[in-house]
Structure 1
Amino acid sequence: MAVPVTFTLPQGLNASAPPERRGIRRDHVRLMISDRQTGKTVHTRFYQLARYLRPGDVIVLNTSRTVPAVLQASWMREESVLSTATEIRLAHRYDEENWDAMVVAEGVRAGDRFHFSPSLFATVVAVREQSPLLRLRFSLRGSDLYEQIYALGEPVRYEYIKQPWDLDYYQTVYASVPGSVELPSAGRAFSWEILLQLQKKGVQIAYLILHTGLSYLLDDRFKMKPEENCEQFVISPETAQVINRAKQAGHRIIAVGTTVVRALESAALSDGTCLAKQGWTCLHIDEHTSLKIADGLMTGFHEPEASHLDLLSAFVSPPLLTGMYREAIQERYLWHEFGDIHLII
């Protein structure tokens, strides 16, 4: 049975605005560095990161770009209009024209249509029992569909975010491939200056893609376990080669985000070799998981009872992790996608 990571998060530590709107650069957020073995911590700022990494280390970044996943639509059944303003939250891109999505309304049936604009509608092709997610087939596909989503949608915003922020605040500087419905936030603090500093020191930068899914379904009746929250990923031959050469030379692989850990460990052989691979991962990582590739993790701070804490427990024992989190609270670190950063290494 898993040992829980127990702490109470004060409301005042929820970061409700991007750092840039709090008067600091994105790479000047605070950085807490924790030793996996001892739990000892160092407190610094993110722009000092290069001081704490070694030549030969590999930083692995997720280049998935955040899409504005909250859309408004008219709900049609045959020729009847059931609603002129129904909220739809995209959850996972299935293929070029199909998405799993959550409709914030009751009674949706297969065959219903949602009209978003004169040039875009979607048809419900599958409704699932015991799940708020359904499958939508859009009238456009590929880049044409993304163009409409970017024109019409808004970023997913949770209750601790008190006002809307532009989509640009929900992107990492290196994001390039649209597909995440929530910001892969562990990499948000990186600037091009920091990446250049790391490369000058001899730290290698590798990239993969994992498109994040919708993590909160608005109703506590519906909580997806990690193994039910499958996400699409791509690891290129170039990235696999960089990782494998570094591992063979005894260097550390540092995953930037739980998304990156999930992708890497889904492509790992038992001997620690990273495969070039693409597909879907439903991997659940917890304290009983023997990590094959990732040696360190850079991440934000996660809420009590979040499944992300299970994954962090694969890097550091739950008692030590509890101590780290209580220290972060005592030191007034900020939580969530606009908050501070935690490096476990």
Structure 2
Amino acid sequence: MTAAELATPRMDFELPPELEAHEPPEARGTPRDGVRLLHGQGSTVSHHRFTDLPGLLRGGDLLVVNTSGTLPASVPVAGAPLRVHFSTELADGRWLVEVRGADLGRRPGQPGPLRLPGGGTVTLEEPYSRGRLWFASVKTRTSVIEFLHRHGQPIRYPYVRRQWPIEAYQTVFATQPGSAEMPSAARPFTDRVVTRLVSAGVQIAPLVLHTGVASPEAHERPYPEWFRVPSGTARLVNETRAAGGRVVAVGTTAVRALETVAGEDGRVVAGEGWTDLIVTPARGVRAVDGLLTGLHEPKASHLDLLAAVVDRDLLARCYAEAVRAGYLWHEFGDVNLLLR
């Protein structure tokens, strides 16, 4: 496979099954910060370990990280071989949910109530997206988040062959529970890497975006996700860019939140609420100069966001090289640093 073969509008390519990460790197004998890091910038693609990150950034750069914590958002249905994945709480108190089988395969679902453990119920009201997400009302004896911590498990897919504890799905930055799935680009960070970054003059600023259940669809209707960009983070972004530093988002979630509150001139303001922004090459990015991200599946809509940060030719070269060199995909896999 060549870079030219990957350079299609929808970034279609073949992902060999052996490149799927089946378990956390710690279970493979690799520390969190020992995963591989592929660096793409300009016309250059180079290979590193994540511990090399401080040397790939410059003093005066700013990393923007998502402090959302991962929920055990997968709950079994009482009396049926089904699970409900709690994706996103909406402004009106309802939730977007997904129904899966006990084999982790997606199920279409139908309107009506589903009984949950502990006397809870989730009532599917109407489809939000064809064949996947539903508007649903939820009744539990406690808050939904407390209910999930009592009865739920982390969402996983068939390529993860066994259940791992919720701690395996948290990042070092996680402080506010709310994500259905881990903001996994930040998973390789450890205290020692953060210390080395700060010592090298790289600043770190927080925001929150509670990510929902990932979609395998290339062009599914976007769904809202709750975010907050604090005033201190907005100030640091603006000051960094004014001083000639680079703003590097850690994860597509951080890009989405920053771009939601960025003006056409790139100036960022504080804000919070629900965002359904889609970042595409046609729209471009206004406040972000680089991105640290995982490796995304063929045709995934996330690839359009990546192509808004760097040109498609570089992105194609990175993915061709990642496949050739045996990088690992998914939330427990390797990472990709893309810089303009």
The answer, yes or no, to whether TM exceeds 0.5 is yes
Q: Is the 8 A contact 2:218 2:299 kept in 1?
A: no
**2:179 aligned partner, one-letter code:** S
CA contact (8 A) 2:36 2:327 kept: yes
Deviations 1:297-317 (A, max 9, x none): 000111111111111111222
Letter aligned with residue 133 of structure 2: L
Once the two structures are aligned, what percentage of the paired residues are identical? 38
Q: Does 1:254 align with 2:256?
A: no
Aligned mate of 2:29, from 10, 17, 23: 23
1:91 pairs with 2:87? yes
Q: Which residue of 2 aligns with 1:163?
A: 162
Aligned match of 1:109: 111
Contact 2:108 2:131 in 1 (8 A): no
Secondary structure of the equivalent of 1:313? helix
AA at the equivalent of 1:317: D
1:133 corresponding residue in structure 2: 133
Comparing 2-11 and 200-209, the one that deviates more:
2-11
Q: Determine if contact 2:170/2:182 at 8 Å carries over to the other structure.
A: yes
The answer to whether the 8 A contact 2:35-2:50 is kept is: yes
Question: TM-score under structure 1 normalisation?
Answer: 0.88
1:62 matched to 2:66 = yes
Give per-residue Cα distances to partners, 1:140-175, cap 9 Å, x unaligned: 48x733122012111111121111111111111110
Aligned partner of 1:100 in structure 2 is 96
Structure 2 unmatched runs, 5+: 1-7, 101-106
Distance 1:5 1:261 in 2: 20
Change (3 A) 1:274 1:114: same
Mapping 1:178-189, distance limit 5 Å: 178-189=177-188
Q: Which whole-Å CA distance do the structure 2 matches of 1:309 and 1:106 have between them?
A: 26
Contact 1:57 1:254 in 2 (8 A): yes
- 2:38 match: secondary structure: strand
CA distance in 2, matches of 1:28, 1:174: 18
- Paired position in structure 2 for 1:78: none
Displacement of 1:130 in angstroms is 3.6
Distance in 2, Cα, partners of 1:103 & 1:6: 27
Residues 306 and 198 of structure 1: CA distance in aligned 2, closer, same or farther (over 3 Å): same
- The RMSD of aligned alpha carbons is 2.1
Q: CA deviation at 1:318?
A: 1.8
Cα deviation 1:75-97 (Å, max 9, x = unaligned): xxxxxxxx455421112122595
User: What SS class does the counterpart of residue 273 from structure 2 fall into?
Assistant: strand
Contact 1:252 1:296 in 2 (8 A): yes
The structural deviation recorded for 1:128 is: 5.0
When the two structures are superposed, what TM-score results if normalisation uses the length of structure 2? 0.89
The amino acid across from 2:267 in the alignment is T
**Equivalent residue runs for 1:44-55 within 5 Å:** 44-55=48-59
Contact 1:97 1:139 in 2 (8 A): no
CA contact (8 A) 2:129 2:220 kept: no
Shift, 1:19, TM fit: 0.6
Of 310-319 and 267-276, the range deviating more from structure 2: 310-319
Aligned to 2:76: 72
Q: Which letter maps to 1:144?
A: S
The residue aligned with 1:77 is: none
Q: Is the 8 A contact 2:99 2:109 kept in 1?
A: no
1:119-144 deviations in whole A, cap 9, x for unaligned? x3344455558453223333348x73
Bigger Rg, structure 1 or 2: 1
Taking the aligned partners of 1:226 and 1:297, their CA distance within structure 2 comes to 23
Mapping of residues 1-345 of structure 1, within 5 Å: 3-35=9-41, 37-38=42-43, 40-74=44-78, 83-95=79-91, 97-104=93-100, 108-110=110-112, 112-118=113-119, 120-126=120-126, 130-140=130-140, 144-216=143-215, 223=217, 225=219, 228-345=222-339
Aligned to 2:3: none
Q: Is the 8 A contact 1:34 1:343 kept in 2?
A: yes
Structure 1 residue identity aligned to 2:73: A
Name structure 1 gaps, 5 residues minimum. Answer: 75-82, 218-222
Q: Distance in 1 between matches of 2:80 and 2:336?
A: 44
In structure 2, how many angstroms separate the alpha carbons of the residues matched to 1:287 and 1:161? Answer: 32
Tell me how far apart the structure 1 counterparts of residues 27 and 92 of structure 2 sit (CA, whole Å): 35
| 2: CA distance, partners of 1:96 / 1:286 | 28
In structure 2, the CA distance between the partners of 1:113 and 1:235, relative to structure 1 (3 Å rule), is: same
1:62–1:207: 8 Å Cα contact kept in structure 2?
yes
Gap change, CA 1:126 and 1:311, over 3 Å in 2: same
- Which one-letter code corresponds to 1:103 in the other structure? V
Change in CA separation of 1:53 and 1:107 when aligned onto 2, cut-off 3 Å? closer
Q: Distance in 1 between matches of 2:16 and 2:225?
A: 31
SS at match of 2:333: coil
